[in-house]
Structure 1
Amino acid sequence: MPTKLDNYTFEDFGLIEEFGHVHPSTPEFNEQTLSIPGRPGLLSLGTQIGAKQFSLPVKVFVRDRYERQRRKNKFVAFLFDAYRQPREFKLSFDYEQDKYYMAKISSQFTPEMLFQMDQFELPLVANDPTKYFFIDADLIRMGSHIPVRSHVKPGARHSFGITSNQTIKVINDGTLALRPRITISGTATSLTIKNTRNNHSFKITNIVSSKPVVVEGETYMVTEGGTDTFSKLVGKFIDLLPGDNSLEISGENMNLEVNFKYKSQFI
């Protein structure tokens, strides 16, 4: 299965992908340091994570130069939107079919125009260097069309009925911590969710059935019945760490359905 850009292959544009592309294993990163006079060495201030840069060798192999230009024009039209801006698309490789990057063209490329073909290096960048699993975790079930080599656990629960204090298990099959979208529907005087692995927790009060609460940890948003209400949440957004996460659910007068929505993420 060849490299895919969204649901297209290079062949769909009349192009040929050659061997020898560049796919970095790590993103760009810079160690942030501070030098203090009189103190040996450097003081580490953490690491700044950057993008991933890709380069794919491509050729257009057809003798008719007008047809070659037509195929290049079709491909360039895919890379840009109607406002002349580079558009993002899902980039996935044949040796890792279950994961994708959100990538776009990163700089100008100029084909070398030969007698019977044109050839060029396609420069792409994923400003978000994270690899995402191609399907949401709650949609992975026995019988799902998951690539054989995927290391995921089908059948894990992501929806829970809550009427009393209890501990639930939510699995993150990725290698990176993530913040899920948590949808809370039903009624409760109060609700507290705590991840015992890092002791992060939040509390929400006065949940009513007509106004489901949605906690979007990745975008720092909390809505109640579709209306922004950030102050509804007291505490910290919940992180799901790689592996099993035991979440303590407690509160008063709970008759709730709690759902977790996320894609596993990889470095």
Structure 2
Amino acid sequence: METMIGVIGGSGLYGFDGLEEACWQQVDTPWGAPSDEILTGIAGGVKMAFLPRHGRGHVHSPTSVPYRANIDALKRLGVTDVVSVSACGSFREEMAPGHFVIVDQFIDRTFAREKSFFGPGCVAHVSLAHPTCERLGQVCFDSAQAQGITVHRGGTYLAMEGPQFSTLAESKLYREVWGCDVIGMTNMPEAKLAREAELCYASVAMVTDYDSWHPDHGEVDISDIIRTLTANSENAAGMIARLPEALAGARAPCPHGCNRALEFAIMTSEEKRDPVLVDKLGAVAGRVL
């Protein structure tokens, strides 16, 4: 199977230069329209797709992002490896604004989003013990280092609903009691849906602030975040440009099983499956359905 890299760009990252045969294209899905048109092209001989998570002009809030449509659209285009790039707050002194964190765990505190492609009429349970792809995460780590970015390998991401930032009490809870490393609003249910779609998924969290726990930094200031976002976005573009070289060539099966996540996940017997839902699942689960 041919490798195709899909990049989901978060706050501050709404486009990507350097693609040959670059074209913004609309992709229709049974889950509605994605956040925006998707930029496709070729870099280093590898097909790529770029999707601005919030849409160009930042029109979607973290809650209103059409997560199911986004993942379905990428899978429909042939994407095999999804790199999620997003802004985050930090709970760790050593994970300072401007640093990147390759996330490997999540605590999902979102509550107002559709979190699965499956449901009544076709029930499935995928494993999420290790919600990101170790192989793809390492590629992102190496690419960030080669770009000269200070990057941390591993971290737990607290996904909050938003759109408001944390209270001081929440920030202390997540940091001191739950042991989280960074906080953001968009990686869930994105990571869950990528797993259901049998896509390798890596999360690159770009630190913009210290949330509200840090005694020397006070509450989150949006003007400071925007300044850091600009620098982070430039670094992220450099990191992304290095991915094709690392992922070029024939794609072997994922050693961690990401592309086989549905192998034994579907519970509903074939004769009891809802044909309407099965039809909607064609792109994400057609391999097993």
What TM-score bracket applies, with the shorter chain setting the length? under 0.3
Question: TM-score, normalization: structure 1?
Answer: 0.23
Instruction: State the TM-score, normalizing by the size of structure 2.
Output: 0.21
Going by fraction, where is strand more abundant, 1 or 2?
A: 1
Question: Which of the pair has more CA radius of gyration?
Answer: 1
Task: Indicate the structure with greater helix content.
Answer: 2
